[in-house]
Structure 1
Amino acid sequence: MPGLKDVKDKIVGVKKTAQITKAMNMVASAKLRGAQDKMESFRPYAEKFADTMRELSQGMEDANLPLMEVREVKTVEIVVVTSDRGLCGSFNSHIVKTVEKLIAQYSGEGKAVSLVTVGKKGSQAFKKTGKIRVSYNDIMGSFQMFNAREISQDITENFLNGDSDQVDIVYGKFYSVAMQKPERGELLPIKPLESEAAQEEAAGGSGSYIYEPDPNEIMEVLLPLYLNVQVYHSMLEVGASEHAARMTAMDNATNACKDMIKELTQLYNKARQAAVTGELMDIVGGAEALKG
């Protein structure tokens, strides 16, 4: 059985750890409110933007618009959006595992894979694979739209140069404080809405629109903006998910510390009781020896 001082030192150490995890939980909770409000305010804009792009792209010739050009897929680029910081449970590891499965799938199909990592954790996870084309680290803590614009311009240029035939994005989507799941989307080429879906949407009352100027001219301007919106939206989702995951992880850590303190306190009491009993036995034994 460990000594009383050792057990007492452990209790003090665990209590200090519990104070830290509780403080981190409160900080994550405060940051989550702002990140969640920002994300939820942007979601309707991103969804409506996507709907408008699908409506505009119906019946268009992809040859007229380079970003809609569908070609034989030989090289796939995956944009991986993770957080810069850890201590948020298995949030980042789930994203990494999803990307690893995608890499295995594409490699099995004979396709080359390159990565664009947004966030330090994704960069660290895939650093040894040699597949990272470019990394954007230390921006997830205070990113703005210009960061998303820089990323989308880079992957667009790579696509237009023919160095990638398809661009996917994998990020952590925020469902609730208790649930964040990896989400996969296809960024390039931008595909038009299928005719059946378009008919169903029209039947639902979406209506048809007359565009001025010509839809092709509008699309030339909106396609780059659409990519900016999609990348920025994924970064907002990861930002909110990271704080939610960290809040949950720190809450679990605080509860685990409380359980450890309880167990160590019981162990301390047993050790103290054993020490007192031993001292009493020595006193009684000494008294008996004097009597004899």
Structure 2
Amino acid sequence: MSGSLSEIKTKISSTQKTGKITNAMKMVSSAKLVKSEQDSKHFQIYASKIRQITTDLLKCDLTTGSSNPMLIARPVKKTAYIVITSDKGLVGAYNSTILKAVLDTIQDYHPDGDDYSIIAIGGMGADFFKARNLPVSFELRGLEDNPSFEEVNRIISKSVEMYKNELFDELYVCYTHHINSLTSQVRVEKMLPISDLDAGEASETGVSDFVLEPNRDAILEQLLPQYAESLIYGAIIDAKTAEHAAGMTAMQAATDNSEKMIKELTKRYNRVRQAAITQEITEIVAGANALD
């Protein structure tokens, strides 16, 4: 009986230590989430401005049609998917949800398996696809908790350049959209060709307020790739924010479970201890009666 007491006491101690670790990890994820939400808000200001400028410059093209390859939908021979996951676990269903959505998309739209490629951002996704022999063209691991544009620019600009060189004809980004600390949403959004601009959003003056040098077409040649890159970068920031929220929620759940387990183990410990005391008293009384 004393051995059982010792075993339960050891389980209580180890669970308490685990609870302290998960609680600390929750606090770390919470701090990262606050910082990431701030970065996301700041980026939205930039994204709104570059969208407005791009829409104003393209007002006529969006109405009558454009000859710019970044805007023209061409016959789709190959599709590329940028899939954003985390580098490590302990984030609940964050990775499994987005990976399942990507697998479903591939099975639905690419049954032959030779008309798509994957650009993996995050070690969990890269390992997942490689283990299933799926075509991973590029991968990026070890992103900072709040990645700068310079950190991800290489893979983003490479993706846009591959599209311009017609190595694939469509580019989608698959990521987890952050809604709030408890809610997220899987998104598969087309980034190229650019199709989310609306002439109705253009300002009334259009480009008349701009002094264009050397000319509009030359500016668009530089601006449209930057606009596409900003969309992809925005998705990465959004996904990172959702990752931190998922980590915070998962560690909160783990901490709550450890507290619940400690309470149950404590009750069990008290019952076993009481049973041991009762047995000892019974043996003492029985021994005393035998002497009489």
Q: Could you tell me the TM-score, scaled by structure 2's length?
A: 0.89
Determine the C-alpha separation between the residues in 2 that align with 1:51 and 1:112.
34
1:289: Cα distance to partner? Answer: 1.6
Which range is displaced more, 4-13 or 167-176?
167-176
| 2:191 maps to 1:187 | yes
Once the two structures are superposed, the pairs formed by residues 104-253 of structure 1 within 5 Å of their partners are: 104-108=107-111, 112-129=115-132, 130-141=134-145, 143-191=147-195, 193=197, 198-199=199-200, 201=201, 206-209=203-206, 210=208, 211-213=210-212, 214-253=215-254
> Distance in 1 between the 2:259 and 2:19 partners?
7
Tell me which moved more, 154-163 or 226-235: 154-163
Matching residue of 2:42: 41
TM-score of the aligned structures, taking structure 1 as reference length: 0.89
How many Å separate the matches in 1 of 2:168 and 2:58? 22
Equivalent-residue separation in structure 2 for 1:152 and 1:62 (angstroms): 26
Distance in 2 between the 1:57 and 1:184 partners?
A: 25
Secondary structure of 2:110 counterpart: helix
* Counterpart amino acid of residue 32 in structure 2: K
Q: Percent identity?
A: 34
1:108 Cα deviation after fit: 4.1
Deviation at 1:166? Answer: 0.5
The separation in 2 between residues aligned to 1:282 and 1:169, in whole angstroms, is 73
Whether the 8 Å CA contact 2:160–2:229 is kept in 1: the answer is no
Within 2, Cα distance between the matches of 1:244 and 1:142?
13
CA deviation profile, 1:100-137 (whole Å, cap 9, x unmatched): 12111221488712100111121122122332111001
Give 1:107's aligned amino acid.
Answer: H
> Could you give the per-residue CA deviations for residues 43-100 of structure 1, whole angstroms, max 9, x where no partner exists?
1321332343344334438774232232111211000112222211111222112211
CA distance in 2, matches of 1:115, 1:57: 30
Secondary structure at 1:72 match in 2: coil
Gaps of 5+ in 2: none
Q: CA deviation at 1:156?
A: 2.0
What's the offset of the Cα at 1:40?
Answer: 1.0
> Offset at 1:189?
1.2
Counterpart contact for 1:76–1:167, Cα < 8 Å: yes
